[in-house]
């Protein structure tokens, strides 16, 4: 994955002040983005903008298929985060939960943070790795807001966000041991029928693209200290490489392939 995104990204100049404004300003400066002053000024680009105290990503105005609402990560407002992950859930079983035991999980493809949050909600310590700068900005903005919410602070504290590409020249240091669970959720190919994919995920697909190096990422993870490697896949998709999973767990439209040491 090279560069910021398949489409150029700009930022809408904020009018007020505050910690979220400073975060956005610092990001624009660090990544050399262009400021725009009015909505719709850049109809062919994604636009970072403040949305009710949150940083969001607005899709290009000429992409009606992506909708008009910004992509925002919000662990408090999204009802999908309300229920803690339970031991009977496929993700919990795949990552090896036991009574009174929750493993350290390293999520190498954190993205919008849904699986990292689910694992942390059930008690796991999670190292959440993200390599796309814009997604990293949205994710850390959401985690900081969650950390300031008394109802969510304990979950947010169990997620340790790390920026970087382990396959890149400056790989982040990730501590693991023989019990660590490595988790991968490579980008699924986008479904042909747009009605099957909600607009936030369509925006995410367009921003990030696919993960052509998913097999290389998995091979890298298998060389690290650990006890279990979990790959999230669609039910009918092939395995991530030619090796056969030790076991798989299925739930609806998802399959979790588990590789044991």
Residues 41, 144: one domain? no
Domain of 17, in residue numbers? 9-66
Residues 45, 102: one domain? no
Q: Is residue 72 part of a domain?
A: no
Residues 118, 234: one domain? yes
Residues 110, 61: one domain? no
Q: Note the pLDDT of residue 189.
A: 57
Q: Is residue 60 part of a domain?
A: yes
Q: Note the pLDDT of residue 188.
A: 62
Please report which residue ranges of the chain form alpha helices under DSSP H.
19-31, 90-94, 114-121, 133-147, 153-157, 199-208, 214-222
Cα dihedral 68, 31, 162, 56, rounded to 10, equals -20
Q: Note the pLDDT of residue 98.
A: 95
Q: Note the pLDDT of residue 204.
A: 80
Q: What's the CATH code of the domain at 190?
A: 3.40.50.150
Q: Note the pLDDT of residue 44.
A: 77
Question: Are the beta carbons of 131 and 169 closer than 8 angstroms?
Answer: no
| Phi-psi region at 40: left, alpha or beta (left = phi > 0; alpha = psi -120 to 50) | left
Q: Note the pLDDT of residue 199.
A: 66
φ, ψ at 243 (rounded to 5°): -80, 150
Q: Is residue 219 part of a domain?
A: yes
Q: Note the pLDDT of residue 39.
A: 63
Q: Is residue 93 part of a domain?
A: yes
Q: Is residue 231 part of a domain?
A: yes
Residues 55, 98: one domain? no
Q: How far is 208 from 213, CA to CA, in rounded Å?
A: 13
Q: Is residue 119 part of a domain?
A: yes
Residues 233, 160: one domain? yes
Q: Note the pLDDT of residue 19.
A: 77
Residues 33, 112: one domain? no
- DSSP class of residue 14 equals P
Q: Is residue 123 part of a domain?
A: yes
Residues 155, 27: one domain? no
Residues 155, 57: one domain? no
pTM comes to 0.90
Q: How many domains are contained in the chain?
A: 2
Residues 57, 36: one domain? yes
- DSSP class of residue 174 equals -
Q: Is residue 71 part of a domain?
A: no
Which of 66, 88, 112 is at the close of a domain? 66
Q: Note the pLDDT of residue 203.
A: 81
Q: Note the pLDDT of residue 42.
A: 58
Each residue's pLDDT tens digit in the chain (261 positions)? Answer: 444 444 479 999 987 777 788 999 999 999 999 999 876 565 678 899 998 889 999 888 777 777 768 899 999 987 777 788 999 999 999 999 999 999 999 999 999 999 999 999 999 999 999 999 999 999 999 999 999 999 999 999 999 999 999 999 889 999 999 999 999 999 865 544 444 445 677 788 778 877 789 999 999 999 999 999 999 999 989 999 999 999 999 998 899 999 998
Residues 203, 113: one domain? yes
Residues 231, 150: one domain? yes
């Amino acid at each position: 994955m090279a560069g910021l995104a398949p489409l150029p990204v700009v930022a809408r100049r904020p009018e007020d002040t505050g910690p979220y404004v400073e975060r956005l300003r610092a990001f624009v400066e660090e990544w050399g983005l262009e400021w725009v002053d009015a909505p719709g000024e850049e109809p062919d680009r994604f636009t970072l903008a403040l949305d009710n105290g949150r940083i969001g990503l607005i899709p290009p105005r000429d992409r009606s298929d992506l909708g008009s609402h910004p992509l925002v990560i919000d662990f408090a407002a999204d009802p999908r985060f309300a229920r803690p992950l339970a031991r009977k859930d496929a993700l919990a079983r795949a990552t090896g939960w036991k009574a009174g035991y929750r493993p350290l999980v390293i999520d190498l493809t954190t993205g919008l943070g849904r699986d990292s949050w689910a694992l942390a909600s059930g008690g796991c310590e999670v190292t959440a790795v993200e390599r796309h700068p814009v997604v990293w900005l949205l994710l850390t903005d959401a985690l900081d807001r969650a950390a300031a919410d008394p109802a969510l602070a304990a979950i947010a504290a169990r997620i340790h966000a790390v920026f970087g590409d382990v396959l890149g020249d400056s790989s982040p240091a990730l501590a693991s041991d023989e019990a660590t669970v490595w988790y991968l959720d490579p980008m699924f190919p986008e479904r042909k029928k747009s009605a099957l994919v909600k607009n936030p995920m369509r925006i995410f697909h367009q921003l990030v693209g696919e993960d052509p190096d998913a097999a290389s990422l998995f091979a890298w993870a298998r060389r690290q200290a650990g006890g279990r490697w979990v790959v999230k896949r669609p039910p009918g998709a092939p395995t991530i490489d030619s090796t056969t999973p030790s076991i798989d767990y299925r739930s609806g439209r998802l399959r979790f392939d588990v590789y044991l040491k």
